Amino acid sequence: MGDVHRYDYGRAAARVGEPLAPFAAGFAEALTGQGYHPSSVYDHLGLMAQFSAWLAAQGRDPRQLPAREMEQFGEVMRRTRRCRVTVRSLGPLLEHLRGQGVLEPWPERHPASEGSSLLREYRDYLRAERSLSEMTIRKYTYFAADFLEQLGEPAQARLAGLTGAQVMDVVSAQARRYRSPSMVEAVIADRALLRFCHRTGRIGKPLDQVVPSAASRPPRLPARLDETVVAALLEGCDRSTERGSRDYSVLVLLRRYGLRGIEVSRLRLEDLRWRAGEIVLRGKAGRIGVLPLTRDAGEAVAEYLQRRQPASAGVSAVFLTVQAPRRPLTLPAVQGIVRRACRRAGVSPFGARPFRHGLGCDLLAAGASLLEIAEVLRHTDIGVTAGYARVDAAALAMLVRPWPCDGQAISGQQAGEPA
């Protein structure tokens, strides 16, 4: 608390003149609630004062200030400040002003068109009907925009008259520009877009069946994680700090439950049912699974929550970023936690998936059935779970039928003699 008293927010807020003076105190309070360090709050208030003075000198209304003119403020500040000032530097301030209704949302870069309206509807469909993550939605929308751009405007008319040959032309053009695995993602996204257009009546035939599969590397066999490697990853976390305690609890959850990275980022406080001894896991496509909360996992998460700084109002995520603004972890952030742990342990970096494969292999070696493994790993297709059976060479050897002839007959055939 000593750092808070070193900085006089009231005096810094008083330096903010019109037109932004009424919002200075609320801005300081908002930054503090998001976990910003007191020195950062003080610096942002100073930048707010300079920005407000610049607006007054220019006679500009912040409600009608486009981003390109904000760059002019950045050029002025670069002459008087050592640090680089850009529109991104004003991001926290602009976000707060929009929340207060001072700034209107910036208009879209591209003018409205049939393609853009279709993409908005498609994005809403992926979010509401398919329950996909925001990262997957961005990926699908990117390839959908590429598909529609190649068809050209007007999008509705192009789709109404779309043929299988035209679909193949678009996919062939993508194959010339994308490499694997991007091409694999492109054809999956193309099928999803065509299914959406068929269901909404924009396409009369199920043309998603026309899209061929992209060539890809054969799937690798799941590997079991070495216990010494897992122990080294856990020991490398400094549990006396918030960051280290968070990383340790994430690794324990990955090890015990084989979580996907997105499932770690979606974990909420209400998903930890302490009294019932259960944990709720929110998987892909909105699927929810409930598993027992193991002792080591519960203790690791409880230790982290005791060290975690308070989250912003309305944030119910368990795992948050350490630096402000304190927000829920994203999928790349979860992967980064594992890779940093690998570097500390001195092993080749990998992501969260080997924990999932390792758990499946361990369950199989312990005698669990594929149905039981599928329940633990939250698989909806038993065929996916069957991939873990390929690593049990001893069990597969029992299924090998003997060769119908003896060794002498085989050697005779090899010499060219009749069997």
Does 379 reside within a domain?
no
Q: Are residues 204 and 233 in the same domain?
A: no
> 155 and 95 in one domain?
no
| pLDDT of the residue at 63 | 64
pLDDT at residue 23 is higher than 50: yes
- Residue 112: pLDDT band with limits 50, 70, 90: very low
Domain boundary among 99, 126, 152: 99
Q: What pLDDT sits at residue 70?
A: 61
pLDDT average, residue stretch 267-296: 90
In terms of average pLDDT, the best of 222-231, 252-261, 397-406 is 252-261
pLDDT over threshold 80, residue 99: no
Asked whether residue 71 falls in the same domain as residue 118, the answer is no
Which of 150-164, 173-187, 227-241 is most confident?
Answer: 227-241
Query: Alpha-carbon distance 237 to 235, whole Å?
Result: 5
Q: How confident is the model at residue 108 (pLDDT cuts 50, 70, 90)?
A: very low
Range 130-147 average pLDDT = 86
Do 266 and 336 lie in a common domain?
yes
The pLDDT of residue 380 is above 90: no
**CA pair distance 206, 367, nearest whole angstrom:** 43
User: Does residue 268 have a pLDDT over 90?
Assistant: yes
pLDDT given for residue 183 in this prediction: 84
pLDDT winner (highest mean) among 23-27, 142-146, 249-253, 414-418 = 249-253
% of the chain at pLDDT higher than 90? 25
86-95, 295-304, 307-316, 387-396: range with lowest mean pLDDT: 387-396
| Tally of domains within the chain | 3
Range of the domain at 123: 114-210
3-state secondary structure of 350: coil
Q: Which of the two residues, 264 and 23, has the higher pLDDT score?
A: 264
Residue 245 shares a structural domain with residue 358: yes
Q: Tell me the C-alpha distance between 214 and 122, whole Å.
A: 23
**408 vs 399, higher pLDDT:** 399
Secondary structure of 254-307 as H, E, C letters: HHHHCCCHHHHHCCEHHHEECCCCEEEEECHHHCEEEEECCHHHHHHHHHHHHH
Do residues 188 and 235 both lie within one domain? Answer: no
Judge if 136 and 259 occupy the same domain: no
Can the peptide bond before residue 354 be classed as cis, meaning omega within 30 degrees of 0? no
Q: Which of 83-92, 126-135, 147-156, 235-244 has the lowest mean pLDDT?
A: 83-92
Residues 195 and 306 in one domain: no
Residue 74: HSE in the Cβ half-sphere, 13 Å Cα cutoff: 14
Domain-terminating residue out of 147, 175, 210? 210
Q: Please check whether residues 148 and 124 belong to one and the same domain.
A: yes
State the pLDDT at residue 4: 43
219 in a structural domain: no
For residue 237, being part of any structural domain is answered with yes
**Residue listed under structure tokens 């010494």:** 228
Round to whole Å and give the CA distance between 110 and 114. 12
Q: Report the CATH number at residue 305.
A: 1.10.443.10
**Residue 410 within any structural domain of the chain:** no
β-bridge partners, 400: none
> Is residue 105 a part of any domain in this protein?
no
Instruction: Say whether both 159 and 126 belong to one domain.
Output: yes
Q: What length is written for the chain?
A: 419
With cut-offs at 50, 70 and 90, classify the pLDDT of residue 407: low
The residue with tokens 């698989």 is 379
Assess whether 356 and 290 both reside in one domain: yes
409/159: higher pLDDT: 159
Are 238 and 356 contained in the same domain? yes
The CATH number of the domain holding residue 156 is: 1.10.150.130
* Mean pLDDT calculated for residue range 373-385: 85
Sheet containing 278-282, strands listed edge to edge, beginning at the edge strand earlier in sequence:
272-273, 278-282, 288-292
Mean pLDDT over the full length of the chain: 80
